[in-house]
Amino acid sequence: MANIHRVYDALAHPAPALEELEIALHIDERTRLFVMPSEYYIPRDLFAGQAPLLRKAAWLTMELHPDGVPALAGLTRFRFEERTALSASQLCAIVGTLPSLRSLCIKAKQGYKLPDNPAPATFRLDELDLDIMPEMHRHTLYLDPLLRYLGFEHIREVTTIWCHNWSDHFTGPPRNLPHTLQVHGPVEMQHDWYLISSSGYIARGRKFDSADLVRDPVMRIMFDYLRALVISTTLLITERAFVPPPLRLTHLTLCCVRGGDIIR
């Protein structure tokens, strides 16, 4: 803990010109089990409460103070990485003490806990990136409650990993069927899918099984409405005996295939 507190001490004075803050302190997670959670809180008097230009922040391990940090009130972009589970108290602090926040990225390794109360109605994001590994005992729909808690339906750009029913979430109202699909990824059959719709919404799904998505009924309807298709990976491979059903591409005007290997 000493190194964390030394960092806090170094950030005790006003920072009138600071625009971006990033802190990454790696600690022994075994010792964390014996330390009070409050030891990891960003102090309320960070920068003596004076960082008027600070708009971006990112850190590993440390947590927002549940009562808020005045110097962070102007943040518009926040990236938070947690080596354990994302706690309900941290979610409360994020949605309740960062009134200017528009872009949020959360990475956690052991799932999450939701607060008892919903997020404030004033909490509205433009961008959301969730990279949260599921707990082993959780159902495959584990990410749905968190997405709904953060109001994903109205977020313009959403990126997820391990998201069940991804096609249903990101092609339904208020979104519509996308006009552009991009598929990327160096790993066979584990790809990133990128959807762009005419209503201005963007959805990214990481590490998806392309064979499953191509067979998904919702995605098959989507293909019929696509105007642009970009594939930057080997999508179809014989090793998995993957033969996709015929796809209708009635409205397609652009098709671009970029692959290092032959598509077989």
Give the max Cα distance, the chain.
64
Which residue matches tokens 């707990």? Answer: 135
Query: What is the pTM (predicted TM-score) of this model?
Result: 0.86
Per residue in 166-211, pLDDT (tens digit) is: 888 888 888 888 999 998 876 656 788 999 998 889 999 988 877 7
Exposed, middle or buried: residue 9 (CB in 10 Å: 0-12, 13-18, 19+)? exposed
What pLDDT score does 199 carry?
A: 86
Query: Which token pair is 134?
Result: 């599921």
Query: Which token pair is 39?
Result: 């030891």
Per residue in 95-132, pLDDT (tens digit) is: 999 999 999 999 988 789 999 999 999 999 999 999 98
191, 197, 201, 207 alpha-carbon torsion, rounded to 10°: -10
Q: How many CB atoms lie within 10 A of CB 180?
A: 16
